[in-house]
Amino acid sequence: MSSVERSDIRSIIDTLKENVRSKKDDGISRKILKLIDVPARRRVSVNLYKLDKLTKEGDNVIVPGKVLSEGAIGHRLNIAAIEYSKGAAKSLEKAGAKMLDIKESLGSKKVKIIV
């Protein structure tokens, strides 16, 4: 799971909008929607060292942009992002992280949004 196609991003945005309209979420969908529904060049990029610093073992994390390979991750986590660099994906796999789809992560409890 290295990157998401444009149609997949549209699908994610549509799901988020539906969650906001139907009030299925607890504010998470609205926050993620604001961060994803922007031009690609304005989306956030998060390095592994930041993820390692801001998370702990077993956290559910959503990165509304790209995960980059700068640094290392020292624990397992459940992570969803729009895109992963090749190095970041390898490091996350090595750390035992579970890479999910953003739609799957919306149902998780105690989700952290890392920007």
What digits encode the pLDDT tens for the residues 84-103?
A: 999 999 999 999 999 998 88
**pLDDT tens digits for 6-18?**
678 999 999 999 9
The answer to the question of residue 1 being in a domain is no
pLDDT-derived band at 80, boundaries 50, 70, 90: very high
Cα of first residue to Cα of last residue in the chain, in angstroms, is 20
Give how many domains the chain has, as a whole number: 1
The answer to the question of residue 93 being in a domain is yes
CA distances from 19 to 22, 52, 72 (A): 5, 29, 34
Could you tell me the residue range of the domain that residue 76 belongs to?
A: 6-113
Residue 113 bridge partners (DSSP) = 62
pLDDT attached to residue 25: 66
The answer to the question of residue 21 being in a domain is yes
pLDDT-derived band at 5, boundaries 50, 70, 90: low
CA distances from 5 to 30, 40, 59 (A): 22, 12, 26
| 67 touches 88 (CB < 8 A) | yes
Q: Which CATH number does the domain housing residue 43 bear? A: 3.100.10.10
Which has more confidence, 79 or 29?
79
| 79 touches 92 (CB < 8 A) | yes
**pLDDT tens digits for 21-65?**
887 666 888 999 999 999 989 999 999 999 999 999 999 999 999
pLDDT attached to residue 72: 94
